[in-house]
Amino acid sequence: MKKSILLLSVIIIFTLSSCVSGPSAAKHLEALKVVGSNLCDSQGNPVQLRGMSSHKLQHFGRFMNVDTFTWLRDEWKCNVVRGALYTYEQGYISNFKEKLKKKMIEIVEGAIDTGIYVIIDWHILRDGDPNIYKEESKEFFIEMATMFGEYPNVIYEICNEPNGKTVTWGDKIKPYADYIIPAIRAVDPDNIIIVGSGTWSQDIHDAAADPLEYENIMYSCHFYAGSHHESLRTRINDAITGKFGNVIPVFVTEWGTTDSSGNGPVYEKESKTWITFLNENNISWVNWSLCDMNEGSAALLPGAAYTGGWPMDMLSESGSLVYSLLRN
């Protein structure tokens, strides 16, 4: 009898220790999939992700940690965060590879432990053409997929904002996606992959006319409330309803309350118009950005704690607006 009790105790202790240690102990979320134009749960029910993006991890990565994510989840009602891994501008390519990779790993593990989704953003910006560093991108995403592909929390954004006159969907962006996506899928066959389009991820009509031939692919569209208006909303609506030839799913992985510079005044009315449109169409969105930078789109004021717990007087005008939009 004593041996049986001892054996049962050992089993219980082992089981409990297995359930609370390491990344494998994290809260597993619902696996996501694409059905038509919708992001859905594993049962095919439409879901909407809403949350916050970091600014440059090399400068503002300190705000991206498990304590902040817990605050964003509980107080801001976020269910997704996005880590902006700049490739250029003193980013991943510029001799900061291992430091920034370590930070991205911390972000992903923190999101998994918090029970929220996380977008791993390969943040193309000034480099324009994603093919410039496609080998580095392939290596990076294979490593991320190998480490985290078993977790449904993880979403891959393989090119943030392709831009430049010659960087079009057919000539540069789709070929890049056709190079990177099979490398991810060889390791992670089903987590969501998001692909940008030309003109800073606004040319979604090109992607809709010639979509990628893979499952669980979404297409990003970015906007800033002071610069982009009804015409871009119409383009999004046409993309998700098939007016360009194919129905495609859109994910707004970046939007700001200011103009497209990320600075200047907050456009509250236009921001609310945009969010109403996205919510009515079940389009997921992530706001730019969770930092204390001295610019209009920053959510926090200088001196804000790195670990959440911000009182309202530490939120910027933009942060206060986005906070209310998330909670409502």
What are the boundaries of each domain within the chain? 39-327
Q: How high is the pLDDT of residue 28? A: 66
- For residue range 280-324, list pLDDT tens digits in order: 999 999 999 999 999 999 999 999 999 999 999 999 999 999 999
> Tokens at residue 156, please?
């891959």
Averaged pLDDT for residues 157-177: 98
Q: Is 49 helix (H, G, I), strand (E, B) or coil?
A: coil
- For residue range 262-277, list pLDDT tens digits in order: 999 999 999 999 999 9
The CATH class of 39-327 is alpha beta
Task: Using alpha carbons, select from 147, 31, 136, 41 the residue that is nearest to residue 93.
Answer: 136
> Tokens at residue 155, please?
């979403």
Q: Is 262 helix (H, G, I), strand (E, B) or coil?
A: coil
CB 289 within 8 A of CB 316: no
In the set 109, 157, 254, 270, the catalytic residue is 254
In which residue are the tokens 């309350």 written?
Answer: 257
Q: How high is the pLDDT of residue 27? A: 61
- For residue range 100-139, list pLDDT tens digits in order: 999 999 999 999 999 999 999 999 999 999 999 999 999 9
Please give the single-letter amino acid code of residue 277: F
CA 27 from chain centre, in angstroms, equals 19
Q: What is the DSSP string of 188-200?
A: -SSS-EEE--HHH
Identify whether 317 is a catalytic site residue: no
Angle at 324 between CA 323 and CA 325, to 5 degrees: 90
Identify whether 143 is a catalytic site residue: no
> Tokens at residue 154, please?
């993880």
Q: Is 143 helix (H, G, I), strand (E, B) or coil?
A: helix
In the set 89, 106, 139, 161, the catalytic residue is 161
Q: Is 142 helix (H, G, I), strand (E, B) or coil?
A: helix
- Measured CA to CA, the distance from residue 90 to residue 77 in angstroms comes to 32
